Amino acid sequence: MGLNKEQTVIGMVGTGVMGKSMAGHFIKAGFEVHVYNRTKAKAEDLLEQGAKWQDSPGQLAQHCNVIITMVGFPSDVEEVYLGEQGILRNAKPNSYLIDMTTSSPALAVKIYEAALEHKMVSLDAPVSGGDVGAKEARLSIMVGGDKEAFDTVLPLFEIIGKNIVYQGQAGAGQHTKMCNQIAIASNMIGVCEALVYAKKAGLDPSTVLKSIESGAAGSWSLSNLAPRIIAENFDPGFYVKHFIKDMGIALQAAEEMKLDMPGLSLAKSLYEQLAAMGEENSGTQALYKIIDK
């Protein structure tokens, strides 16, 4: 099916590290784009590109029929969708609501059900790929919700992503993102330990990386974040504070399923130590500072 570009008005709530790039791709693709962010300064570049500013998520929702959210925490998602000035109270019937925040699977189901009551369509569509993936429009997008809705908005996903997979009903996208974060959590410990080991053994970490990143140890984190660690660049592609949030969501869901997650629990405890050192706004690669003591 798909959406008619001339009749599609996109609203982007959240123009931070990820949302800004996403909105920019939609503008370049020729869509009318409206934006809202708690800090307006973070949307200035988009406004210069032609985006239209709105003063609240609800006001934005009144002008758009596709509303995409990329905010920080599940509490933010709940407020943006279900709050007094939120999307559900203000969007038009038949609007498509797409939450791309990494959030709670249970909250995704709650929003989906509320959207149905308002004659709207909701998808949970968290992403992986970090700031680089967002800038280069090659995000991995994992989607939960009705298949027909997924098929309709797929052309929009294809503007910002490359690996786009329908995972199942509401909440399935968020559960899949939890699998992603669980795999990353223990892997980041390994990446940092490998680099510390290389340094202590008197090796050149960059040269070591050439040997190990294309073999069995290869991973996205090793290829993309290890070079940042070596360069002592701890700027956020993905914030430590947001990763701690994600791990908390995963551990809570795992507990509900009576699953023990020792690797995830260890990673979360190490990242909480890192945040206590004042590194909560650093990138996840800053875990190296805990390992390199």
pLDDT in tens, 209-218: 999 999 999 9
pTM value > 0.85: yes
Given pLDDT bands bounded at 50, 70 and 90, which one contains residue 131? confident
**Is residue 293 pLDDT above 90, yes or no?**
no
Given pLDDT bands bounded at 50, 70 and 90, which one contains residue 36? very high
- The pLDDT tens digits for 82-130 are 998 899 999 999 999 999 999 999 999 999 999 999 999 999 999 998 8
Please name the residues in contact with 54: beta carbons below 8 A apart, sequence gap of 6 or more: 11, 34, 35, 36, 60, 63
- DSSP three-state, residue 128: strand
- The pLDDT tens digits for 233-258 are 999 988 999 999 999 999 999 999 99
Structure tokens at 204: 């050149």
Structure tokens at 44: 């200035």
Active site residues: 177
pLDDT on residue 17: 84
Q: Which residues pair with 10 in a beta bridge?
A: 33, 66
**Do residues 116 and 94 touch, judged by C-beta distance below 8 A?**
no
When the pLDDT of each residue in the chain is averaged and rounded to a whole number, the result is 96
- CA–chain centroid gap for 184, Å, is 14
pLDDT on residue 7: 93
| 220 sits in which H/E element | helix 220-224
- The pLDDT tens digits for 186-203 are 999 999 999 999 999 999
**How many contiguous H segments (helices) and E segments (strands) does the chain have?**
14, 9
- The pLDDT tens digits for 158-186 are 999 999 999 999 999 999 999 999 999 99
**Is residue 4 pLDDT above 90, yes or no?**
no
Interhelix angle 172-200/105-117, rounded to 10 degrees, is: 150
pLDDT on residue 6: 83
| 121 sits in which H/E element | strand 121-124
DSSP at 40: G
Q: Are strands 139-144 and 127-128 parallel, antiparallel or unpaired?
A: antiparallel
Q: How far apart are CA 113 and CA 148, in angstroms?
A: 16
- DSSP three-state, residue 273: helix
Q: How far apart are CA 226 and CA 15, in angstroms?
A: 27
